[in-house]
Structure 1
């Protein structure tokens, strides 16, 4: 597959592992799902639907990868979450709840993105801390692989 095929969107198999530590609670989450990879301009977009085991609903998730190595993660649920990851920096994110906007920030000590063309695949590692004001909400590790 050539990079130019990405402008129309390419189906990908996604394997996602998330490790979450909030105060004393630790949880691990795994997801294997089909998604789509699209190139718009110089950015790559990975889109998939995240199933909710309890409700049966599916939440649209988009990860945007910029040429500068930044990653934007958007979960478009009832409460919309927009996270922005920049290696080694503290950046403002958005959490739009049904009760209003909640200011949050991410600090990203580890951010690695690696893409290969034949076959087209990607490997993403993000370790981040999530803050609401000065309070640490949690410590997260995302490990994502996708293959066309």
Structure 2
């Protein structure tokens, strides 16, 4: 685990299932990333490509020792989601027009990590709310291996 303090390259496989009203979409991504340990937290960082614009969005997932997960996407609008198993928590969406208050409800959250080779498996099912209105139902499945 000592090399984690300087960062370890990892291969990431991400699948996202999104249901908004009657629309359902699936997204898959295989990308290189980096895993870093800072204090007792693990940080997974990668660049998410946008096929339409060719730009890349920096994404960071923070894993805390108590099982919480924080997801940050730093695009034109910065999205900060916070997942706590079985709880409704406040998140933040910074748009060019101001901050939009949002909340996540996470009925299912599972993270598991192995040391040799260093790898991880993350499963998050969450509901996203804006102004108490349900925006969508999301499922994230992410695996990474050093």
Shorter-chain-normalised TM-score: which range? over 0.9
Query: How many Å apart are 1:128 and its aligned residue?
Result: 0.1
The answer to whether 1:108 aligns with 2:106 is yes
Equivalent residue for 1:86? 84
Equivalent residue for 2:13? 15
Looking at structure 1, the residues matched to 131 and 121 of structure 2 have their Cα atoms a distance apart, in angstroms, of 31
The answer to whether 1:96 aligns with 2:94 is yes
Equivalent residue for 2:40? 42
Looking at structure 2, the residues matched to 7 and 73 of structure 1 have their Cα atoms a distance apart, in angstroms, of 20
2:57 to 39, 56, 59: 59
Looking at structure 2, the residues matched to 133 and 100 of structure 1 have their Cα atoms a distance apart, in angstroms, of 14
Query: How many Å apart are 1:4 and its aligned residue?
Result: 1.0
Deviations 1:65-113 (A, max 9, x none): 0000000000000000000000000000000000100000000000000
The runs of at least 4 consecutive aligned structure 1 residues that moved more than 4 Å come to none
- Number of matched pairs: 146
> TM-score if structure 1 supplies the norm length?
0.98
Query: How many Å apart are 1:134 and its aligned residue?
Result: 1.1
SS in 1 for 2:85: coil
SS in 1 for 2:117: coil
Deviations 1:20-53 (A, max 9, x none): 0000000000000000000000000000000000
SS in 2 for 1:118: coil
Equivalent residue for 1:137? 135
> TM-score if structure 2 supplies the norm length?
1.00
Q: Give the unaligned 5+ runs of structure 1.
A: none
SS in 2 for 1:6: helix
Q: For the aligned residues, what is the CA RMSD?
A: 0.3
